[in-house]
Amino acid sequence: MRREVLFSAVACTVWLCCLSIRPVQGGKLLVVPMDGSHWLSMKILVKEIVNRGHEVLVLVPESSLLMSESESFKKQFYPVQFTQAEMEGSFKSLSDGVFQKPPQIADMLLSVELFVNFTKLQLRGCESLLHNQQLMSQLRDSGFDAVLTDPFLPCGSILARVFSIPAVYFLRGLPCQLDTRANMCPSPPSYVPSTYSGYPSAMTFSQRVNNMFMYFVETYMCHLLFGHYDEFVRQYFREDMTYTDLISHGAIWLLRYDFVFEWPRPVMPNMVFIGGINCMSRSPLPADLAEFVEGSGDDGFIIFTLGSMVSKMPAEIAKQFLEAFRQIPQRVLWRYTGVPLENVPENVKLMKWLPQNDLLGHPKAKVFMTHGGTHGIYEGICNGVPMLMFPLFGDQGENVRRFVARGVALSLNIHDVTSDELVTALNTIVQDKGFKERMMKLSQVHLDRPLSPVDLSAFWTEFVMRHKGASHLRVAAHDLNWIQYHSLDVIGLLVMVIVTVLWVTLKCCLFCTRRCCRKRTAKKKSE
């Protein structure tokens, strides 16, 4: 079968014919997003929902990082008990923390600390919203059909419960696998590696032992990470419920991942996979950038960014990078927002922001230098560009391990990287064609899906709005407690029955044996 690369989209018909109901005047969607990079991909879906003729209201705290910028959709600002400076400080402490070079073993604890500190401020914002009586009654009266939210924060799920409307979740995943736990999705520890294990899906015996241990640790981590969420939810509803209970009512989980990258595992019918939603559309490059990359010749260019959250790089580390870039033939586009650098080589262009996905889509893009954040990795896969990775925090370590295991990336420790290591790694990736070929294969499988992630996520959001939920996809497991779910009560009963039967049988046998013996003894005596 001959194949070729096509650069056009094909059309198909959708089966919303016959008896299907469709909103005519459009539905009403309440959007409760999470700030920062999470918002960057959620707004792609929000724009699509607006384009499809629905009324959308996005709730934005008055002090926010990326959410207040002008967009075509309607926003409702609400006052919060913290200032813009406090909020920016909170993000900064999160991003600064990544260069505090933690010892390997404390990585997990550092992540817990960063998460709790960061979310505590966000919860205060959530509190301001929930106790804003005027806004709450205005929202209630608006008659929304559904809430679209990121369960990284509890506000959206709480509003869904307060207004008795279904919730659509939009996320990559939650720490300690809280999302799969809440959605009752089975995760057999024999082949589903825990987030922090760094193991592949096919594990050795000792890895499986460690993985089982990590599952217990993760369960404990859920208490550390979401304990203050549980408290928040309990206080608000004055009910004995946890955050897990609250989000277990999510109608549809739109998950920003794809099994071309994640290890395949059991899923639930209400989990929809929209990995790569952020690399769908590409715009032409601005003139100066286009000139810079086109002028890179056959050597091509490199894109270097540590994500929108990380801005401050220690001067010593930055120097190593500059030194390395001086020694390579490629041009380099570096998203850099730290202190001004001196002696920047001619082949390096520093920028405060760069159109990452548009650049990765350029045929001359040779290497993507990234921290392994969830957005960047899918843009890398999508555009088939091999990577040099510098994991910083959270799930990035695990992301990077997977890419390295697939032979499409190399990884370096940013805390003690040297210019020599950088040059060697970059040259290896550029010269060993295997990196590019394997990445292209990943890319082809990733892109070969029946519906685009944007259309798919918009469809399911509309579905929830049309049918007031997706109750036919909700498993009955949600109504079982831990003992019932694992059938421990049933197993207990069966064991009891078996033991009783065995005991009665044994007693009967003993009784019969004794009678026989007695009879014989009596017979002997009488004889």
Which parts of 30-59 interact with its own copies (CB under 8 A)?
none
Output 17 or 287, the one with its CB closest to its own copies: 17
Binder of its own copies out of 8, 133, 164, 431 (CB under 8 A): 8
Our CB check for its own copies shows the closer of 22 and 238 to be 22
Least distance in Å: CB of 414 to its own copies? 30
Nearer to its own copies, 43 or 474 (CB): 474
The closest of 146, 129, 145, 121 to 65, measured between CA atoms, is 121
Q: Which of residues 287-326 bind its own copies (CB under 8 A)?
A: none
**Which of these segments, 328-336, 487-495, 499-507, 512-520, binds its own copies (CB under 8 A)?**
487-495
In sequence order, the 6+-apart residues with CB closer than 8 A to the CB of 2 are none
Quote the Cα angle for 77-79-80, to 5°: 125
7 binds its own copies (CB under 8 A): yes
To its own copies, the closest distance from the beta carbon of 196 in angstroms equals 18
Q: Is 11 in the site for its own copies (CB under 8 A)?
A: yes
Q: How far is Cα 430 from Cα 235, in angstroms, rounded to an integer?
A: 56
Angle at the Cα of 373 from the Cα atoms of 370 and 378, rounded to 5 degrees: 90
User: Residue 285 Cβ, how far from its own copies at the closest point, in Å?
Assistant: 16
The reply on whether position 70 binds its own copies by CB under 8 A is no
Backbone angles phi, psi at 171, to 5 degrees: -165, 170
- Cβ of residue 145: shortest distance to its own copies, in angstroms? 6
Q: Is 238 in the site for its own copies (CB under 8 A)?
A: no
Nearer to its own copies, 361 or 373 (CB): 361
- The window from 9-17, 104-112, 218-226, 233-241 that contacts its own copies (CB under 8 A) reads 9-17
- Binding its own copies by CB under 8 A: which of 16, 495, 504, 506? 16
* Shorter beta-carbon distance to its own copies: residue 268 or 351: 268
Place of tokens 């993507």: 368
Interaction mask 346-385, its own copies, x per CB under 8 A: ---------------x--------------------xxx-
Exactly one of 352, 472, 523, 525 binds its own copies (CB under 8 A); that residue is: 472
Q: Residues with Cβ < 8 Å from 23, sequence gap 6 or more?
A: 53, 54, 462, 465, 466
Stretch that binds its own copies, among 26-34, 148-156, 370-378, 393-401 (CB under 8 A): 26-34
- Do the Cβ atoms of 388 and 412 come closer than 8 Å? yes
Longest dimension (CA), the chain: 120
Q: Return the number of the residue (14 or 287) whose C-beta is nearest its own copies.
A: 14
Contact stretch for its own copies (CB under 8 A) within 128-136, 265-273, 300-308, 318-326: 265-273
**Min separation Cβ 76 and its own copies, Å:** 20
Instruction: Tell how strand 348-351 and strand 365-370 pair up.
Output: unpaired
DSSP letters spanning 60-118: EESS-SSSSS--SSEEEEE--SS-HHHHHHHHHHHHHGGGS---GGGHHHHHHHHHHHH
**Shortest separation between residue 247's beta carbon and its own copies, angstroms:** 18
The residue within the footprint of its own copies, chosen from 476, 523, 526, 527 (CB under 8 A), is 476
- How buried is residue 174: exposed, middle or buried, by Cβ count under 10 Å (0-12/13-18/19+)? buried
Edge to edge, what strands does the sheet with 348-351 contain? 348-351, 331-335, 301-305, 365-370, 387-389, 409-411
Question: Rounded to the nearest whole angstrom, what is the least distance from the CB of residue 37 to its own copies in the complex?
Answer: 22
Q: How far is CA 338 from the centre of its chain?
A: 27
Among 17, 283, 287, 340, binds its own copies (CB under 8 A): 17
Please give the Cα distance from 477 to 455 (Å, whole number).
Answer: 30
Query: Do 349 and 333 touch, CB atoms closer than 8 A?
Result: yes
Identity of the amino acid at 135? L
Residues 178-207 within binding reach of its own copies (CB under 8 A): 185-186, 188-191, 200-203, 205
Q: Select the residue interacting with its own copies from 85, 290, 475, 499 (CB under 8 A).
A: 475
Q: Is 217 in the site for its own copies (CB under 8 A)?
A: no
Nearer to its own copies, 131 or 486 (CB): 486
Among 135, 280, 344, 417, binds its own copies (CB under 8 A): 280
Q: What angle do CA 153, 149, 395 make, to 5 degrees?
A: 55
Minimum distance between the CB of residue 11 and its own copies, rounded to whole angstroms?
A: 6
419 by DSSP, 3-state: which? helix
**Number of residues counted as binding its own copies (CB under 8 A):** 94
Give the interface segment with its own copies, choosing from 13-21, 122-130, 246-254, 314-322 (CB under 8 A).
13-21
The stretch near its own copies (CB under 8 A) out of 99-107, 257-265, 392-400, 429-437 is 257-265
Which of 88, 117, 286, 485 is close enough to bind its own copies by CB under 8 A?
A: 485
The span from the CA of 120 to the CA of 111, in Å, is: 14
Residue 163 DSSP symbol: T
Site for its own copies in 407-446 (CB under 8 A): 440, 443-445
Sequence letter at residue 284: P
Q: Enumerate the H helices of 314-418 as residue ranges.
A: 315-326, 356-360, 374-383, 396-405
CA 318 – CA 321 distance, rounded (Å): 5
